[in-house]
């Protein structure tokens, strides 16, 4: 991860810690969910990236959740290095997408799923940071987008404190004005994310 990516990562992680350390302990549960996964079926209007965004790219991330009987809130941080690259070909030498989202969760009632898997749906808004560095300085991108995400998943506990979860979501930037030479049409990035998390309840 480059210096800029590291700074964004730690700033985002700091936001999550501050938000969820202060979350109410009563009438619900707090969770931390470090996860790994992959993006797939991505798309972008940025020039010079070919079909790289359509490929599968590994991701890491962490989310903090406060979840009540049915409704909860979540802060979600994802980092996808190499998102605009595919193998050793192409003009792009370095790239990444980082998202920081605030979501609302609606889950199956806790009293009915206490000893099994608990499904949920999630959606919200946030920020997407896009970085692309090309060979020979043909084009450089460092953009911040407003973004939305929607999806769902399921989690369950192995012990009283530790469990696992699976999640699939769609992330989309809010398009920006076209920039000739940089994008074809309005600047835009979107992708699906599939992930698996360790769920820690505290």
What is the C-alpha separation between 134 and 107, in angstroms, rounded?
43
Q: Which residues pair with 167 in a beta bridge?
A: 153, 195
- The CATH number linked to 43 is 2.40.160.20
Burial classification of residue 8, based on how many CB atoms lie within 10 Å of its CB (0-12 exposed, 13-18 middle, 19 or more buried): buried
Express as a percent the part of the chain with pLDDT over 90. 69
> What mean pLDDT, rounded, does the chain reach?
88
Can you tell me whether residue 16 is helix, strand or coil?
helix
Mean pLDDT along residues 42-48: 92
The per-residue pLDDT for 189 is: 97
Q: Is the pLDDT of residue 70 over 60?
A: yes
Ranges 54-58, 72-76, 82-86, 88-92: which has the least confidence: 88-92
pLDDT, one tens digit per residue, over 15-36 is 555 555 544 544 689 999 999 9
- The C-alpha R_g of the chain, in whole angstroms, comes to 18
pLDDT, one tens digit per residue, over 115-150 is 689 999 999 999 999 999 987 777 789 999 999 999
Contacts of 111 (CB under 8 A, 6+ apart): 69
Q: Is the pLDDT of residue 55 over 90?
A: yes
Q: Is the pLDDT of residue 4 over 70?
A: no
The per-residue pLDDT for 88 is: 61
Looking at the structure of the chain, the number of domains it has is 1
What is the C-alpha separation between 79 and 83, in angstroms, rounded?
9
State the pLDDT confidence band at 57, using cuts at 50, 70 and 90: very high
Mean pLDDT along residues 92-104: 95
Better-predicted residue by pLDDT, 173 or 5: 173
Better-predicted residue by pLDDT, 155 or 23: 155
Mean pLDDT along residues 153-178: 95
Tell me which residue range forms the domain holding 121.
Answer: 3-201
Question: What tokens does 168 get?
Answer: 């699939």
């Amino acid at each position: 991860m480059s210096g800029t990516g590291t700074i964004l990562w730690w700033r985002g992680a700091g936001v999550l810690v501050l938000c969820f350390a202060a979350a109410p302990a009563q009438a619900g549960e707090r969770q931390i969910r470090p996860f790994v996964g992959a993006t797939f079926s991505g798309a972008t209007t940025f020039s010079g990236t070919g079909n790289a965004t359509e490929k599968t790219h590994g991701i890491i991330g962490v989310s903090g959740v406060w979840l009540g009987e049915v409704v909860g809130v979540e802060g979600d941080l994802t980092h996808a290095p190499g998102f605009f690259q595919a193998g050793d070909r192409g003009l792009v030498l370095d790239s990444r997408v980082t998202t920081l989202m605030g979501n609302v969760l609606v889950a199956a009632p806790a009293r009915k799923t206490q000893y099994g898997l608990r499904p949920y749906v999630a959606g919200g808004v946030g920020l997407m940071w896009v970085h692309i560095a090309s060979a020979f300085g043909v084009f450089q991108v460092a953009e911040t987008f407003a973004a939305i995400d929607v999806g769902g998943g399921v989690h369950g506990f192995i012990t009283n404190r530790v469990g696992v979860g699976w999640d699939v979501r769609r992330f989309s930037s809010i398009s920006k004005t076209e920039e000739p030479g940089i994008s074809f049409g309005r600047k835009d990035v979107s992708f699906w994310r599939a992930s698996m998390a360790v769920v820690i309840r505290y």
